[in-house]
Amino acid sequence: MTVQELPGAGASHRSTQPPAWSPRTDAAPLLPDPEPYRVLGTEAADGLDPELMRRCYAELVRGRRYNAQATALTKQGRLAVYPSTVGQEACEIAAALVLEEQDWLFPSYRDTLAAVARGLDPVQALTLLRGDWHTGYDPREHRIAPLSTPLATQLPHAVGLAHAARLRGDDVVALAMVGDGGTSEGDFHEALNFAAVWQAPVVFLVQNNGFAISVPLAKQTAAPTLAHKAVGYGMPGRLVDGNDIAAMHEVLSEAVRRARAGGGPTLIEAVTYRMEAHTNADDATRYRGDAEVEAWKAHDPVDLLERELTARGIIDEAAIQAVRDDAEAMAAALREGMNADPVVDPMDLFAHVYAEQTDRLREQAAMLRAELEAEDQS
C-alpha cells in the first residue's frame, strides 16, 4: 500500500482545518518598554525614599572605592586579575540590596562587588582572583554561590535552588547575574525556560555593559533588546537604566516581590557600560574609542545619584564627606587585609576533593609531603 492508497490520505489535509490554536493573550505585558526605565532626573524621583537613597549613595561610593582599590591591588601584584565594575556599581549594589537575608545571590566572576555589598568579607571575596583558593567563603553561610567563571552556567543552578526552596515551602528568591555576552550561551536559554515552566522564584539580571571582552552587543544578538528574550519563554522582560540606582532598586525589588509572591521569574536587562578594560589583561583600545567612554562618563552612576540627592537636599557636603571617609576606611582595611601574604598549605590540594580521602590521593599526598620535607632540609 502506498501513501496515496491509505484511506483518507491525500485530500484530507487540504479539506480540514487544523485544530484551533490561540496565542497566549497575556504576551503583551511581557514585552519590555522601548526605553530603559529611569527615575533619577525624572518626575518619578519625587517619590524617592530619602533613607533608602542615602544607603544607596553610601554603598555606591564604597563600591567605587572598592573597585579602585582592587584595581590598585592588581598593579601591586596582590591580585592576579580583577574584572572591574567601575560604571556598573549601581547594578551590583542594587542586586545586593533588594535581597532578604534568606535569599540567594548567584554572581558571575565580575560580581565581587555585589557579593561584598551583600556583606561578604572583601578579602574572602577576592581569594579567587588572588589565587589562594577558588572560593574563599562558605556559600551556605552567606547564601552567595561561588563566583562563576564559566559564563551563564550558574543560571540553571539559581533556578534549581529556587525551585527546591519552593518545594520545601521556604520563602527564598534567587537572583542570578550574567553579562550581555553570557546571554548567548545555551545555559542562559535553558535556565530561562526552566524557570518559566516551573514558575520558579528567580530574578535574572543581565548587566549589558556593551561588550563581551571585545565583542559589541550588535554581534551578540539581533534582538531589539536583551529584555525581549524573556517573551519567548513566557516571563516579563524589563529594560532599565543600569546607571540609575533608584530605577535599578525599584525594578529589581518589584521582580523579587513578584517571585516571592509566586508570580514566577523576571528577566531584567540593565543598560550600563564597562568603563575599564575587561580585565587588566585586556587592551580595550583595540576595540573601542575614547569618545564612547567619555560619553558614558557623563552618565556616571555615582554622579547621577549625588546630583539628585544634593538638589533635593537629601545629602549635603558633610554627608558626602562622611560617606567618603567611610569608603576610605573600607579601602584601608581591604588594603591591609590583602597586604598580608596569604598562607597556603600545599596539603590543601588533597583536602577537599572527596568527602572520604581515596587511597590514591593519600598516596599522592604522602609523595608531596616527602617532597616538601626534602625541600625543607636542603
Partner 1 sequence: MAQALTRAMRDAMAEDPTVHVMGEDVGTLGGVFRITDGLAKEFGEERCTDTPLAEAGILGAAVGMAMYGLRPVVEMQFDAFAYPAFEQLISHVAKMRNRTRGAMPLPITIRVPYGGGIGGVEHHCDSSEAYYVATPGLHVVTPATVEDAYGLLRASIASDDPVVFLEPKRLYWSKADWRPEAPAAVPGIGKALVRRTGTSATLITYGPSLPVCLEAAEAAREEGWDLEVVDLRSLVPFDEDTVVESVRRTGRAVVVHEANGFGGPGAEIAARVTERCFHHLEAPVLRVTGFDIPYPPPMLEKHHLPGVDRILDTVARLQWEN
Distances 343 to 91, 346, 348 between C-alpha atoms, Å: 33, 10, 11
Nearest distance from C-beta of residue 342 to partner 1, angstroms: 7
Nearest distance from C-beta of residue 191 to partner 1, angstroms: 13
Residue closer to ligand TPP by CB (options 247, 277) is: 277
Residue 265: Cβ within 10 Å count: 31
Residue closer to partner 1 by CB (options 44, 284) is: 284
Q: Is 229 in the site for ligand TPP (CB under 6 A)?
A: no
Distances 173 to 140, 141, 328, 339 between C-alpha atoms, Å: 14, 16, 33, 36
From CA 246, how far away is CA 217, in angstroms rounded? 25
From CA 293, how far away is CA 270, in angstroms rounded? 17
From CA 224, how far away is CA 309, in angstroms rounded? 33
> Which among partner 1, ligand TPP, none contacts residue 64 (Cβ within 5 to 8 A by kind)?
none
Cβ atoms of 196 and 156 within 8 Å: the answer is: no
Interface mask toward ligand TPP for 112-151; x: CB under 6 A: -------------------------------------xxx
Strand pairing of 215-216 and 211-212?
antiparallel
* CA dihedral of residues 308, 314, 319, 324 (deg, nearest 10): -30
Return the C-alpha cell found at 167. 518545594
From CA 247, how far away is CA 245, in angstroms rounded? 5
> Which among ligand TPP, partner 1, none contacts residue 209 (Cβ within 5 to 8 A by kind)?
ligand TPP
> Which among ligand TPP, partner 1, none contacts residue 125 (Cβ within 5 to 8 A by kind)?
none
Q: Is 300 in the site for ligand TPP (CB under 6 A)?
A: no
Per the listing, cell 582599590 goes with: 69
DSSP state of 3: G
> Which among ligand TPP, partner 1, none contacts residue 286 (Cβ within 5 to 8 A by kind)?
partner 1
> Which among ligand TPP, partner 1, none contacts residue 110 (Cβ within 5 to 8 A by kind)?
ligand TPP
Q: Is 179 in the site for ligand TPP (CB under 6 A)?
A: yes
From CA 67, how far away is CA 82, in angstroms rounded? 9
**Helices within the chain (DSSP H only):** 12-15, 50-75, 89-97, 112-117, 122-125, 127-130, 139-142, 154-167, 186-198, 229-233, 245-260, 290-297, 301-311, 317-339, 348-351, 359-377
Q: Is 197 in the site for ligand TPP (CB under 6 A)?
A: no
Nearest distance from C-beta of residue 266 to partner 1, angstroms: 23
Q: How many Å from the N-terminal Cα to the C-terminal Cα in the chain?
A: 88
Query: Does 287 qualify as catalytic in the annotation?
Result: yes
From CA 212, how far away is CA 202, in angstroms rounded? 24
> Which among partner 1, ligand TPP, none contacts residue 280 (Cβ within 5 to 8 A by kind)?
none
Q: Return the residues of window 208-227 that contact ligand TPP according to CB under 6 A.
A: 209, 211-213
Distances 253 to 35, 175, 268 between C-alpha atoms, Å: 19, 11, 11
Q: Is 180 in the site for ligand TPP (CB under 6 A)?
A: yes
Q: Exactly one of 72, 223, 333, 368 binds partner 1 (CB under 8 A); which one?
A: 368
Q: Is 199 in the site for partner 1 (CB under 8 A)?
A: no
Q: Is 168 in the site for partner 1 (CB under 8 A)?
A: no
Q: Exactly one of 57, 194, 273, 350 binds partner 1 (CB under 8 A); which one?
A: 350
From CA 359, how far away is CA 32, in angstroms rounded? 56
Question: Which residue out of 62, 143, 157, 274 is catalytically annotated?
Answer: 274
> Which among ligand TPP, partner 1, none contacts residue 76 (Cβ within 5 to 8 A by kind)?
none
Q: Nearest Cα to 117, choosing from 56, 49, 179? A: 56
Question: Which residue out of 257, 287, 288, 335 is catalytically annotated?
Answer: 287
Could you tell me which stretch among 127-135, 160-168, 230-238, 255-263 binds partner 1 (CB under 8 A)? 127-135
Nearest distance from C-beta of residue 319 to ligand TPP, angstroms: 32
User: Residue 212: what residue type?
Assistant: A
Q: Is 184 in the site for partner 1 (CB under 8 A)?
A: yes
Q: Is 280 in the site for partner 1 (CB under 8 A)?
A: no
Q: Exactly one of 219, 297, 307, 312 binds partner 1 (CB under 8 A); which one?
A: 219
Return the C-alpha cell found at 366. 604522602
Active site residues per annotation: 274, 278, 287
* Site residues for ligand TPP per CB under 6 A: 110, 149-151, 179-182, 209, 211-213, 274, 278
